[in-house]
Amino acid sequence: MAGLGGRMSTVIKAKISKMLDRAEDPGETLDYGYNKQLELLQNVKKGIADVVTAKKRIQMQAQKHEQQIVKLDTQARQALAQGREDLARTALERKSGLQAELQSLDTQVKELEAQQEQLIANEKKLRQKIEAFRTKKEVIKAQYSASEAQVRISEAASGVGEEMADLGLAMQRAEQKTEDMRARADAVQELEAAGAFDDITALGSGGQDEIDRELAQLTSGAQVDDELAKMKAELGTGSGEADKPALGQGEQA
Is 133 near other proteins (CB under 8 A)? yes
Maximal C-alpha separation, the chain: 97
Dist CA 150 CA 24 (whole Å): 10
Dist CA 86 CA 75 (whole Å): 12
Minimum gap (Å) between residue 163 Cβ and other proteins: 8
CA 149 to chain CA mean position, Å: 44
Among 29, 61, 108, 122, binds other proteins (CB under 8 A): 122
Which positions from 191 through 230 interact with other proteins, judged by CB under 8 A? none
Is 53 near other proteins (CB under 8 A)? no
Among 20, 156, 191, 235, binds other proteins (CB under 8 A): 156
Dist CA 33 CA 86 (whole Å): 70
Give the alpha-carbon dihedral of 205, 208, 211, 216, to 10 degrees. -70
Is 113 near other proteins (CB under 8 A)? no
Dist CA 93 CA 91 (whole Å): 5
φ, ψ at 84 (rounded to 5°): -100, 75
Minimum gap (Å) between residue 211 Cβ and other proteins: 21
Instruction: Please identify, using beta-carbon distances, which residue of 70 and 132 lies nearer to other proteins.
Output: 132
Among 132, 139, 193, 247, binds other proteins (CB under 8 A): 132
Instruction: Please identify, using beta-carbon distances, which residue of 84 and 129 lies nearer to other proteins.
Output: 129
Is 136 near other proteins (CB under 8 A)? yes
Residue 153: which residues within 8 A CB-CB, separation 6 or more? 20, 26, 29, 30, 33, 137, 140
Instruction: Please identify, using beta-carbon distances, which residue of 26 and 97 lies nearer to other proteins.
Output: 26
Minimum gap (Å) between residue 137 Cβ and other proteins: 10
Which positions from 164 through 183 interact with other proteins, judged by CB under 8 A? 166, 169-170, 173
Helix (H, G, I), strand (E, B) or coil at 205: coil
Instruction: Please identify, using beta-carbon distances, which residue of 136 and 232 lies nearer to other proteins.
Output: 136
Dist CA 233 CA 205 (whole Å): 36
Minimum gap (Å) between residue 169 Cβ and other proteins: 6
- CA distances for 140 relative to 27, 74, 108, 147, angstroms: 8, 72, 47, 11
Interface with other proteins by CB under 8 A: which range of 25-33, 43-51, 63-71, 122-130? Answer: 122-130
Minimum gap (Å) between residue 154 Cβ and other proteins: 10
φ, ψ at 100 (rounded to 5°): -60, -45
Chain positions contacting other proteins, by CB under 8 A: 1-5, 8, 118, 122, 125, 128-129, 131-133, 135-136, 155-160, 162, 166, 169-170, 173
